[in-house]
Structure 1
Amino acid sequence: MEDQPKTLLVTLTGKDRPGVTSAIFAALAAAGVEVIDIEQIVLRRRLVLGILVTAPRDWKKLRDVIERTATDLDMNVEVDRGAGDNRSRSGDRSHITIIGKPLKASAMAAIAGRIADSGANIDKIERMARYPVTAIELHVSGAPADRLRPLLAAEAVRQGIDLAVQRDSLHRRGIRLIVMDVDSTLIQGEVIEMIAAHAGQEAEVARVTEAAMRGELDFETSLRERVALLAGVPATALDEVYDAIELAPGARTMVRTLRRLGYRFAIVSGGFTQITDRLAADLGIHFARANELEIVDGVLTGRILGEVVDRAGKAVALREFATEVGVPLDAVIAIGDGANDLDMLNAAGLGIAYNAKPVVRDAADTSVNVPYLDAILYLLGISREQIEDADAAVGIVTPAPPLGLDD
């Protein structure tokens, strides 16, 4: 086995300004070294630049040149001689996304401690968002995602933060399919309860809905029971319900941003096609599947046409949409909040419980409990700055961040 090549690690710190990086590389270029690795970050205009290069025979002479260059730049520099590349980056790699509102130092300390306990190493940390939540992504190596996920999920619950662990793979960078529940996920509230208000049955329908979402009642039975209470409601009430629907905060941003990247979207609902088809058309969602209310002579009959889209039906729809799009299940992201979403969440490569019931949070790959649907973009490696830049390019204005959050 050949010896690992001798290397130099150059670490430069100080006030950032134009020309710093080029000056250091000019000094390195004169020695004819090869660049092996680079990391650079800027925090509040303070630069930290790390450069790993092959070590020349007369490495001390190069060190002196680098130190003189740093002095001229009024920067601090360290030059360390060693061997090999960044060994910690071999083996299993994962992306860990942490979301907090606020994100406390104690929570970061706890998560970093659990990562260390697993034998993994944090190779890189970057901020994905600073408002309305703080989102941080860790690039971790040395432990499989399946080992990290339960360990970190338990710690996230203790710290009151959201956390997702995803294996580093090509799927994270390719076109993916997003499959979403509708009621209390894509939109706020439950459509069936809004319709029931027109029949004076809102309280009774809400009671049955809650029991079904907790998994205490068979979904199909509970749905037929609730729909029966809608008999006699004029079909025109569906237009009023649609006009009153409020999307989850960030829903349009999430769909708009991911569509630009070529993602495909589907909504799968235990609700009704009379609403979901219009939502899909409004948001530019590619696929929609839901139950169809029977309407006769302009009035709801209290019955459903065809097979019920229940817990199993949602998973079936997810697989069919994935086949139509031509992506593997590992490239599917499912988002839901209720017990009838569990099969769908388990079928996807990444199942996200969004402001979900406890039984769903416990079963999903990860959970997002902040009231912003576009926070899911951070799990996909898309930063708030990238979202705003893309919007600005087409004239969409983003509100200014809260005072005190500017750099």
Structure 2
Amino acid sequence: MIRKIPVRDLLPGMYVVDLHKRWLEHNIWRQHFRVRDDGQIARLVEEGIVEVSIDTARGLDVAQPERPKSPPPGSQYRSLADLKASRPRQVSLAEERRRAVLLLREANDHVVDLMQAARGGRHVDAARLEPLIGRMLESVQRNPDALAPLARLKQSEHYDTEHAVATAALIIAFGRQQGLPAPEIEKLALGTLLKDIGQAAIDARLIGKPGMLSQAEYSVVQSHVEEGLAVLEATVRLPETAVAVVLEHHERYNGCGYPYRMAGDEISLAGRMAAIVDTYDAMTSERPYRAALSPSDALRQLFDQSGSQFDPALVAAFVHTVGVYPVGTLVMLESRHLAVVEQQHADNLLSPVVRVIYHAGRRQYVEPVEVDLARKVGNHYGQIVGAESYERWGLSPLRWQPA
């Protein structure tokens, strides 16, 4: 039974199914969850949640008399101290970008080697990716705005390998936003790095063919999913989560995907998450058959397709992960200035910190200046009108990436 109650009546053990507040107006990523403790309830109150709906079939009802006891005073603080000590220290964006550049180069080299091994019928040593994935997770923990935005800027002819690395970086950030434990995130990233290895068995001219594919050609391309699993199963035993990513990243929420036409919750959480990051990175990448979309346009398309192609709750959470205007996006301000998004505000995704670099009306560079669009005073440029293309204005996305 679904019951709406004031948030003050919420108890640990209840199962929340609706926060009754638009997802852009709060920083609670999960819409369906079991309440763990009083601290989680306090967090809901801090985020301005006034009432919630609970599912009494999946958790406690308001009639339950027993309220779980809070941990003894001090134990919580010791736990929080231990948690803080176990996390990598936070570093500046500039410092983490320097590390991320080298890390991405190494990751691409590893995936290229594995793809070549698969193409040559040799052993695919997926175990060599595990230390690399651990370092990618640490990078995102130190500063989440370095690795994934950099990975989106593909620079070579190896789209398949760069796409694999970019989606791994995205799913690490996505997994952290979902509150998944580190070992589970590492399995997601492993599956994402390996998910397209079956393309080694397909003619590269077909993968990158401009224009529409014939039905026969499309069937061949679809076969890369099961081809990939066959290659991997012959050489390595993957964890279940990684296998789900490989098999299900092209399944769709409405059952129109492939290879098994799974639908809704038949698709694992790993598969539903992988479908979103795979599609987002593909849409924001230049391909022989179409131009790249801006990150915000890609997010808009994902949002439009939520509930049909993609899990709507996960799409909303993914937007929170990367921001409505992801770091590195070129945007137009009300003043007709162009600016690059430098930093997100978790509680105000529409008003990030930007660096103003160009005047679109005069078509000339201006002295770069950092502006916090969330500030009520000191902003003479107005708010964001929309996302823009670097190519349209003849600007280099590499040059103007945040440092």
Query: What TM-score does the superposition give when structure 1 sets the normalisation length?
Result: 0.25
Greater relative CO (CA pairs within 8 A, separation 6+): 1
Larger radius of gyration: 1
Q: Which structure shows the bigger proportion of residues in helix conformation? A: 2
Structure with more of its chain in strand, by fraction: 1
